[in-house]
Structure 1
């Protein structure tokens, strides 16, 4: 029974990662333009999370200043999703997900700017190796260059969002659903404000048939709202490192599903080599950072004891 209890959170985690990967499949399946798709996705998610909070009697209060900042944070993830869905339209699911896996490394390279720390040597080396992986992919898939650039932009924006969001989770560790609620509202507002002046924006909002509506509903309710709430629950049983390390499998699951569902998603050997290089570096970087944090945590009690001994 104990083994089953331990296995359940891992199975739930991988189900969530599978659902995350399926987001890319839906991005190809749904014909609604990326801006409209993002607005509908985030708007419906906001409604779902708001209903969940109301039914659970959770507080919506966070202060007006924080509300404004959370709305702006949501705008960042909104822009990420517009770029993400655009990349899928420009290239395909496999290329987009391979490029998106660079997000964790982008975050490592951006952290020194946000947290005023030195850039670590292994992060620079890993960054160069990832660039090599990208060149291997782009060199063999010239027709996808536009999609590769857009997907890398989406990955960069996602990394910025993850760093911003980490600060919110430190400030409000028990209010993660509330954070997501306001961020989804912010995504709707910011994406609408940024893209409303562009040609075809209003027409795009009306380009939703029954097939697209069902896809968007699944995307909002299952791929975003359910996974958000369930992921919070899983942190009670799994360490953040375990969760983040396993989430690196999202591009793998997405590429496997894409290849199974769409014959044109079966890429060349060079593509999979480049993708494997990128994924390996991302996983190794996560492992090294975790090892460094564990060693740092072990040193702290020793240093504290030494100070007390000196006193």
Structure 2
């Protein structure tokens, strides 16, 4: 059982690495954030639909459940739009650092959704994450707008992660994701239809390089990681998932430094802040594993 748990944690870190690369892809794609997210969700929806058809997954849900999934789909669309907008407003480092504040918000949101008392260390670790982000961005407050958009993205992401954790109690990850992407695509489509620069000829005139990156973004970085991360929350709490995703700026900024060396210059503050985030994530995992072991011993006192 512990080996299965370890596999889930390793899988989670692999997904976080892909998430860090997602930020790089967002910087490589030239189209604006709203268009980018529309294409991303549409491609992921097509892939997910094929998966459901091939494996003959039952997708029937009640109207109440459909409403909940749709709300979550709109939230994830808003998260991605604000995330990529933060990248385009400033750079990858700012967007990812601001996104790390998600654990702070989850420490308050998760207890409300799951109707439990907040753990003191969850709140403490959330505050420590904020300190780590503050150190990383110490000399970057001239990017205030991008930081604000990035924090807003973290708020949307936190709500989404906790809601999905709740949905998984009664539904499959693939079904949840399917309806969430439908809602996200429809939500953005309605906005584009009523906006001045909506579905124009230019909207569908995508450069070849952008199209290739969009395909990677929609398939590997979205359809696969989306269902996998939601599935992982069956054995790992939403708080731990979001807190581990705070390694995303570490992976993402390292990748950005390699791919965009002239734009992403890392300072001593980055290493200090990233180190604080990394240690916090590890401490969270250690504490939760110790609590799980104690709980098992309490339930089975005669086991060797």
Q: Tell whether the structures are fold-level matches, with TM greater than 0.5.
A: yes
Structure 1: distance between partners of 2:129 and 2:272: 12
TM-score normalised by L of structure 2: 0.82
1:198: how far off? 4.5
Conserved? CA contact 1:248–1:283, under 8 Å: no
Match of residue 221, structure 1, among 219, 222, 232:
219
The 1:199/1:271 distance shift into structure 2, 3 A limit, reads farther
Residue by residue over 1:3-36, the C-alpha shift from the partner in whole angstroms, topping out at 9 and shown as x without a partner, is: xx99998876655433222111111000111111
Match of 1:258 in 2: 256
1:26 aligns with 2:37: no
TM-score normalised by L of structure 1: 0.81
1:90: how far off? 1.4
Match of 2:42 in 1: 43
Worse overlay, 104-113 or 19-28: 104-113
1:212: how far off? 1.2
Structure 2: distance between partners of 1:197 and 1:161: 26
Task: Report the structure, 1 or 2, having the larger helix content.
Answer: 1
Conserved? CA contact 1:74–1:186, under 8 Å: yes
Residue by residue over 1:207-255, the C-alpha shift from the partner in whole angstroms, topping out at 9 and shown as x without a partner, is: 522221111111011111233455678899xx537x9476554332211
1:240 aligns with 2:239: no
Q: Secondary structure at the match of 2:137?
A: helix
Conserved? CA contact 2:94–2:137, under 8 Å: no
Compute the RMSD of aligned alpha carbons. Answer: 3.2
Structure 1: distance between partners of 2:300 and 2:73: 38
Structure 1: distance between partners of 2:96 and 2:59: 34
Match of 1:193 in 2: 190
Q: Which has the larger radius of gyration?
A: 1
Counterpart mapping for 1:173-212 below 5 A = 175-194=172-191, 196-203=193-200, 205-206=203-204, 208-212=206-210
Q: Secondary structure at the match of 1:205?
A: coil
Conserved? CA contact 1:104–1:282, under 8 Å: no
1:186: how far off? 1.1
Worse overlay, 214-223 or 264-273: 264-273
1:86 aligns with 2:85: yes
Q: Secondary structure at the match of 1:265?
A: coil
Gapped regions of structure 2 (runs ≥ 5): none
Conserved? CA contact 1:25–1:93, under 8 Å: yes
Conserved? CA contact 1:98–1:275, under 8 Å: no
Structure 2: distance between partners of 1:11 and 1:107: 22
Match of 1:139 in 2: 138
Residue by residue over 1:259-303, the C-alpha shift from the partner in whole angstroms, topping out at 9 and shown as x without a partner, is: 00002112221233223323433443354345445534544567x
Conserved? CA contact 1:21–1:254, under 8 Å: yes
Match of 2:119 in 1: 120
Gapped regions of structure 1 (runs ≥ 5): 303-311
Conserved? CA contact 1:102–1:278, under 8 Å: no
Number of residue pairs matched by the alignment: 293
